[in-house]
Structure 1
Amino acid sequence: MSISRRKFLQSLAAGLLGGGAPLAAATSEGRSSRREEAARLAEAALDAARTAGAGYADVRVLFSESEVLSAREERIENVEVSASSGLGVRVLVNGVWGFSSASVLDPAHASACSRSAVEMAKSNRALATQRVELERVEARIDRWRVPIEQDPFSIPLDQKAEELLGINAAARAAGAPFCRSFFLFVRQEKFFASSGGSFLEQLFFRTYPRLTVTATDPGTGRFANRSSFLPPRAAGYEYIRLHDWKQEARQAAEDASRKLKAKPVAAGKKDLVLHPTNLWLTLHETIGHSTELDRAFGYEAGFAGTTFVKPADRGHLRFASEIVTVMADRDQPGGLATAAYDDDGMPARYARFPIISRGRFENFQMAIGQSRWIGLPHSNACSFAEGHAYFPIQRMPNISLQPSQQDVSLEELIAGVEDGVYIVGDGSWSIDQQRKNFQFGGQLFYEIRKGKLGEMLRDVAYQSTTVPFWNACDGLGGVKEYWLGGTLSCGKGQPVQSAPVSHGAVPARFRGIQILNTGRGI
């Protein structure tokens, strides 16, 4: 333990008065009192950890709020408003981790958490196969927040409900008999303190709007769905306010109706053009998860699986064609994993690195203590815990496919296809435990003939293996085609944790990919 409690509080006060990015809401009495409360809890927990014998300790204090409103046709189905708070203490004792948490925020419980975490670490020594070796993390006192224009929690619930019902009404007026819509909002204040002297305050906002329309054919009993393409974002209510939802609803209703009349796809090997609304999910599952270092060492084998990528592949594996570069980051505007620091207290600048550079696999994602497994000096800010009661584990930062350096349009990619399929929107998917063999669907499918978009198709899925698939990529859209997708609920770990992550992508063309007709099971 490298800093005294008196020095910790003195440096904390100086830093919060004079340093860090200002929080718009931090000047309020409520924000200040939470910061002071977190500082008292951190002091108690770190003192107790040091006294109990920990060589390192960190504390996370979280205040979380969420709202979910959902509507179906002409009625509001559900309104949920919730809030939670708590703290988690992680300690390292003789190279072994221990962890404990509490939902009661007072110094006595914080101290008890530290003592419990130390006891857990000591009990775990008999099971530990190797000691955890931490790299040095620079001490920082800082504040940061997701930049937003309008706090979604300041908008009255009845106004949000009216917006949802208006979306449904627009879809039904356009001919869709069924429409579901929802808004999800999350606000989370996260305080991090470590025995190394860091005290970090971060404020996150996440907003997720969605609609799904359903068209039916009473004669055949068939139905077709089309959901909105707007992904969750690190944003405020302006993300909803600035989108033309009525137009989205009308278009979704039209698309769903057309899907009922679409012709079945002919199975076989074809060229494939994927819109980024579809490709972000393929990127997530095949590249994002396969390049997690804990998977490569078998730490996720019991739940989320392992990976075909081996430590020896770093710098050698030809993962994709030469035009493919995939970057990690924590600074992309609107990114769900964007932050100033990860949950190990590592600065975001460490999270900007190439995973794949010009087709070659370069870097794994790592949490603190994992870099030594492959002989590297430090991790790369890839740690996250879902809440105060969860141990931080390796999780994805934002991971994005980089655009072409040329100004290539979607139309140009399609023009280079004689016989193929164009897919928009994400759908059902399946991938094996090593992130190798996969099958992905979508929402909208179109035939490509002689460089032109043709009729709408149905019952389409594409099937491949990760490395051959990415090596079959021979065309990427330019920067004007870039689009940021993502998910709030990437699952991993035992007990399972959900993590928010964004993935940027551009339209991409792949040659000779197996297309399945899911309606006939071929």
Structure 2
Amino acid sequence: MKRRDFVQIAGLGLGGMMLPLGLLGNSNPVSIEALLESPLNVLQKKQIADAALNTAKSNGATYTDVRIGRYLNQFISTRENKVQNIVNGESYGVGIRVIANGTWGFASTNDVSPEGVKKATMQAVAIAKANSKFQTDPVKLAPNASHGEVSWKTPIQKNAFEIPVAEKVELLLAANAEAQKNGASFVNSNLFQVNEQKYFASSEGSYIDQDIHRIWPTFNVTAIDKAAGKFKTRQAMSAPMGMGYEYMNPKQEDKLSGVVPGMYLYKNSYDIIEDAGLAARQAKEMLSAKSVDPGKYDLVLEPNHLGLTIHESVGHPLELDRVLGYEANYAGTSFATLDKLKAGNFNYGSKLVNIFADKTQPGSLGAVGYDDEGVKCKQWDLIKDGVLVNYQAIRDQVHIIDQKESHGCCYSQSWNDVQFQRMPNVSLAPGKDPYSVQQMIKDVEKGIYIAGRGSYSIDQQRYNFQFGGTVYYEIKNGQITGMLNDVAYQSNTQEFWNSCTKICDASDYRMFGSFFDGKGQPSQVSAVSHGSSTTRFNGINVINTGRTI
């Protein structure tokens, strides 16, 4: 991949969330035909897993899990009327994790054979025994029932890898053409597709075969005013989803009317051509839109925007390893310390705020049947009626918060990386009473409607923050009066969520997602979604990002 192409892709409003190494060369380039092949059947996978399990036991391991992983990806990049890049990638191998002498050990190999995994398993046991000399407290694993031989698949209708590349290129180029027809000076579009084929086996008797699919169409358009020497950009309003190629076939019932004429938002399918045309028109409108006056405003935040705020101000600070300080060197700590959970009355937000974690939400990026420790996934509450009630924790963590069952949120980005606690889907529950976006706008005297993601900044404890968006519209006396520029809002996590005064009902519920959420050392990425309905926050401080002091 050329440096210029990387810079363009990395600048697509990812908000600091990085591209997966597999899409940039960590995996082996293969043909599309090879992507559709299956090197091992389930019986062969079980035989290889058993070779590792038996070897670990005979060498003194008290617990073992084996992950046979085949990670496939396809990335298509276009600019205006040209194809810039098409990448098919495959990464294939086995990771073995053991407990010996009360200590973790891990090793991996790309030799997917009984002999290869035996050698890697002996290395994992040797590492555990070496580490045990420095381990002060033995690993404590929460109980996990044996699931026997089970399977789970993302319920896709169309496998994106089976769709001809030419058809996908044609769609991206059509979106580019629509953007240019509506006034875009430049446009690039991209399509990411991922398929994780994962087989998990453990010494506790589970043999779990999973087939996981994700997709993300996106673009960036730029409109230029040459006379004024100005330019404005608008990125796609798409959300990465845990779906197949059916996401790219728009359905009328999935299209929700926005707050301005001609503006549509998308729920469970996506019209990239329609959105590209709207993006170009909005980018042109931004060139002449007025700059915001700083001050206090009521904010109406649509789900594609609010998802990132949820991710940063709720998802990350409620990861138990971050709370415990394990991430301090890389990603920071958390203001939501253990004493706040133990108190049982820490006011995280208003009584309207109910935020839950869920690894089973249909269509979400994090949806799986079982996590990478073989724990059956579920939903659980993090914030109930505004009060902090739980964290995100895995098998060797939950005893720290006096719980006896893993939350099922352990994940590894590949077979050659060790699994650890990762953020599940973290979502804001919709309002219980019928209430539309249009009604919410009518209830606002002085406010701003914000849609789409933008730049953000948040401190190392996930407390003080600033967020921007993609498009902004001023609200006066219950009416949208026009577009705004240079908007960002500032608050702290507790003050912000306590300012939540109204949430639209479930008919407006949609998901934002991060394909590439980074964490850990060595760093890994994971995919996670955040659902919400359009939500109102009163009296939030808005600054003008275009003015200098």
TM-score over 0.5 for the pair: yes
Q: 1:195 aligns with which of 181, 196, 203?
A: 203
Secondary structure of 1:380's match? Answer: coil
Distance 1:39 1:156 in 2: 33
Structure 1 match to 2:337: 310
Q: 2:412 aligns with which of 375, 379, 385?
A: 385
Structure 1 match to 2:299: 272
Distance 1:434 1:330 in 2: 25
Q: Deviations over 1:457-480 (max 9, x none)?
A: 001101110011100111111111
- More displaced 10-residue stretch of structure 1: 355-364 or 237-246: 237-246
Q: 1:115 aligns with which of 118, 122, 129?
A: 122
Structure 2 contact 143–404 (Cα < 8 Å) conserved: no
Please give the residue correspondences for 1:138-287 in structure 2 after superposition, counting only pairs within 5 Å.
138-140=145-147, 141-242=149-250, 243-287=270-314
Distance 1:244 1:424 in 2: 17
Secondary structure of 1:137's match? Answer: coil
Secondary structure of 1:426's match? Answer: strand
Amino acid at match of 1:449: K
Structure 2 contact 377–409 (Cα < 8 Å) conserved: no
Q: CA deviation at 1:287?
A: 0.3
Amino acid at match of 1:48: T
Task: Give the direction of change, closer, same or farther, for the CA distance of 1:122–1:521 in structure 2 (3 Å limit).
Answer: farther
TM-score (norm 2): 0.88
Structure 1 match to 2:20: none
Amino acid at match of 1:437: N
1:74 aligns with 2:93: no
Structure 2 match to 1:341: 370
Amino acid at match of 2:463: K
Distance 1:250 1:327 in 2: 35
Structure 2 match to 1:84: 91
Structure 2 match to 1:3: none
Amino acid at match of 1:474: T
Distance 1:267 1:30 in 2: 57
Q: 1:57 aligns with which of 53, 64, 71?
A: 64
Structure 1 match to 2:358: 329
Distance 1:488 1:405 in 2: 30
Q: 1:373 aligns with which of 400, 419, 438?
A: 400
Q: Deviations over 1:137-190 (max 9, x none)?
A: 111120110011111111111121111111111111111111110111111110
Q: CA deviation at 1:437?
A: 0.8
Q: 2:328 aligns with which of 301, 315, 328?
A: 301
Q: 2:131 aligns with which of 105, 117, 124?
A: 124
Q: 1:101 aligns with which of 103, 108, 115?
A: 108
Distance 2:127 2:543 in 1: 51
Structure 2 match to 1:23: none
Secondary structure of 1:356's match? Answer: strand
- More displaced 10-residue stretch of structure 1: 432-441 or 154-163: 154-163
Alignment size in residue pairs = 492
Structure 2 contact 175–277 (Cα < 8 Å) conserved: no
Distance 1:456 1:118 in 2: 61
Amino acid at match of 1:145: K
Distance 2:435 2:548 in 1: 36
TM-score (norm 1): 0.92
Q: CA deviation at 1:33?
A: 3.2
Q: 1:493 aligns with which of 520, 524, 528?
A: 520
Q: 1:360 aligns with which of 368, 374, 387?
A: 387
Secondary structure of 2:293's match? Answer: coil
Amino acid at match of 2:314: I
Structure 2 match to 1:482: 509
Amino acid at match of 2:427: S
Distance 1:134 1:46 in 2: 18
Secondary structure of 2:350's match? Answer: coil
Amino acid at match of 1:457: L
Amino acid at match of 2:519: K
Distance 2:220 2:441 in 1: 28
Task: Give the direction of change, closer, same or farther, for the CA distance of 1:33–1:391 in structure 2 (3 Å limit).
Answer: closer
Distance 1:460 1:130 in 2: 50
Q: CA deviation at 1:129?
A: 4.1
Q: CA deviation at 1:31?
A: 4.8
Q: CA deviation at 1:312?
A: 2.1
RMSD of equivalent CA atoms:
1.3
Q: CA deviation at 1:511?
A: 1.3
Q: CA deviation at 1:30?
A: 5.8
Distance 1:259 1:302 in 2: 40
Q: Deviations over 1:467-516 (max 9, x none)?
A: 11100111111111111111110100111110010110111111111101
Structure 1 match to 2:538: 511
Distance 1:245 1:117 in 2: 47
- More displaced 10-residue stretch of structure 1: 189-198 or 480-489: 480-489
Distance 2:349 2:135 in 1: 37
Q: CA deviation at 1:279?
A: 0.2
Amino acid at match of 2:145: E
Q: Deviations over 1:58-94 (max 9, x none)?
A: 0000011111011000100011111110110001113
Q: CA deviation at 1:246?
A: 2.3
Structure 2 match to 1:35: 42
Structure 2 contact 67–96 (Cα < 8 Å) conserved: yes
Secondary structure of 1:441's match? Answer: strand
Q: Deviations over 1:206-259 (max 9, x none)?
A: 111012111011012211111111111111111112333322111111011001
